[in-house]
């Protein structure tokens, strides 16, 4: 067996502690599979007195993670601090400057600085790996970078946030409202005290931007991701989706179009018999379409100490074996800056729910707004009748241009008979 591989870990939160346990419990397996004994030589965290269930005697402790990245006797620095900037970015930059390999689970940092950091790592002759940054224990980065390297990817989509998937699944199964399920998810540890990153789609958008770079050889462009969350989804929409043969999922989707790269994150109605429609709870799934493999689907736990630590170890083992794959699959100077496909030109069918006062002429006014924007109605549901209360009107459209749909909805929302903003969910053909 070759000499040991000394590593340093910055950040000992949930994932960091999980990594230490994995290193201890799987030491023999890791040595056999990597050809080197993986040796933890240094750690850094905010509080050295927390019991993390792992003996750290003999391991160098650094209060300053940047100093650790610069001076620890480590070949690999693992960054598990989090955040787009601040200490996390400083640790990675310091490690690269010191010509140490870097493994990170930090999708926020890579979504903003990924292209620049990849270029710096290449210039320094070091690896920068991030399997743990996207979809937890699912090896989707390796699949795109290596397993599907012989394919041109035409489309990629997936469920990339377990918190949102848990909320939507539980709403469907229980009929309870979004706010109740979110509070429950926070108590169970599935959602953060401040859940905006998850429920507003930002976490999914960051992950999608990284997958788009891998799949299409593009510079990372998180700012080009059209992003919507799930706050507005109601049990009524989920019930209508079920009646119409759909399930609602928060999807991230990317594809190359004639106008540029289309990156979208928003709730979708997908056919109930689609494979990804049955990915429930905290699980993630990614589907990649290649010209020689057709559709390939990857499913598993998208977060948590164990799955994320497993992904970190996979990158460390690659480094131990001497594998030097470019961060985004191709040399950074070959990454292209693809134009953004404007969302207003997206073409697709839609589900629309209106809450209206039950008066004569309402449907005629709604139909006129759609007619004037060349939006064709496919089906319409209105069963409840009450002249004194708002009632739901649900319709689905044929494929139409996003801009036209938004103009029609703005006009409909201004009608005096429409008592709350129209709800629109795109119907995604998979």
Cα–Cα distance, 135 to 298 (Å, whole number): 10
Helices (H) and strands (E) in the chain, counts: 14, 17
Q: Shortest CA distance to 6 belongs to which of 58, 66, 50, 49? A: 58
Q: Report the half-sphere exposure of 316 (CA within 13 A, side-chain side).
A: 33
- Is-contact 136 300, C-beta < 8 A? yes
Q: Which residues, 6+ apart, have CB-to-CB distance to 123 below 8 Å?
A: none
Q: Provide the CA 54 distance to its chain's centre, in angstroms.
A: 31
- Is-contact 191 163, C-beta < 8 A? yes
> Active site residue: 107, 142, 207, 249, which one?
207
Q: How many CB atoms lie within 10 A of CB 230?
A: 23
Which token pair is 180?
């109740």
Q: Shortest CA distance to 375 belongs to which of 354, 411, 349? A: 349
Burial 280-308 (b: 16+ CB within 10 A, else e): bebbbbbbbbbeeeeebebbbbbbbbbbb
The angle at the Cα of 331, spanning 330 to 335, to the nearest 5 degrees, equals 75
For this structure, is 142 an active site residue?
no
Per DSSP, 218 falls in state B
Percent helix, strand and coil across the chain, each rounded to 5?
A: 40, 25, 35
Strands 5-10, 38-44: pairing is parallel
Cα dihedral 209→212→218→224 (10° resolution): -40
Which token pair is 399?
């494929």
> Which ranges in 83-161 belong to alpha helices (H)?
86-97, 107-124, 140-142
Cα–Cα distance, 424 to 92 (Å, whole number): 41
Cα–Cα distance, 234 to 178 (Å, whole number): 7
Active site residues: 207
């Amino acid at each position: 067996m070759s000499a040991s591989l000394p590593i340093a870990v910055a950040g000992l939160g949930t994932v960091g502690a999980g990594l230490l346990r994995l290193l201890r419990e799987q030491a023999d397996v890791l040595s056999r599979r990597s050809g080197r004994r993986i040796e933890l030589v240094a750690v850094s965290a905010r509080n050295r007195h927390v019991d993390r269930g792992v003996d750290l005697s003999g391991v160098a402790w650094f209060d300053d993670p940047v100093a650790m990245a610069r001076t620890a006797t480590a070949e690999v620095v693992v960054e598990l601090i989090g955040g787009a900037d601040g200490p996390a970015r400083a640790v990675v930059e310091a490690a690269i400057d010191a010509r140490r390999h870097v493994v990170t689970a930090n999708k926020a940092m890579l979504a903003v600085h990924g292209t620049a950091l990849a270029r710096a790592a290449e210039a320094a002759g070091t690896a920068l790996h991030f399997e743990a940054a996207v979809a937890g224990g699912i090896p989707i980065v390796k699949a795109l970078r290596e397993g599907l390297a012989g394919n041109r990817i035409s489309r990629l989509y997936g469920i990339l946030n377990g918190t949102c998937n848990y909320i939507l699944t539980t709403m469907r199964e229980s009929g309870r409202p979004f706010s109740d399920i979110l509070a429950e998810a926070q108590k169970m540890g599935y959602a953060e005290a401040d859940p905006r990153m998850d429920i507003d789609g930002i976490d999914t958008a960051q992950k999608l931007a990284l997958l788009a770079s891998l799949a299409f050889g593009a510079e990372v462009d998180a700012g080009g991701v059209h992003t919507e969350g799930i706050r507005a989804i109601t049990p009524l929409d989920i019930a209508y989706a079920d009646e119409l043969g759909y399930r609602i999922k928060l999807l991230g989707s990317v594809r190359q179009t004639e106008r540029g790269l289309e990156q979208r994150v928003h709730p979708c109605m997908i056919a109930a018999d689609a494979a990804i429609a049955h990915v429930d709870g905290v699980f993630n799934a990614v589907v990649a379409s290649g010209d020689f493999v057709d559709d390939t689907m990857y499913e598993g736990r998208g977060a948590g100490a164990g799955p994320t630590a497993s992904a970190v170890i996979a990158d460390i083992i690659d480094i131990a074996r001497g594998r030097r794959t470019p961060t985004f699959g191709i040399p950074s100077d070959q990454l292209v800056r693809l134009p953004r496909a404007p969302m207003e030109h997206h073409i697709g069918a839609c589900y629309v729910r209106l809450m209206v006062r039950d008066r004569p002429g309402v449907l005629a006014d709604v139909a006129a707004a759609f007619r004037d924007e060349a939006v064709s109605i496919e089906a319409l549901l209105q069963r409840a009748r009450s002249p004194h209360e708002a009632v739901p009107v649900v319709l689905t459209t044929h494929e139409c241009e996003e801009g036209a749909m938004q103009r029609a909805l703005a006009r409909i929302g201004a009608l005096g008979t429409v008592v709350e903003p129209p709800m629109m969910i795109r119907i995604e053909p998979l």
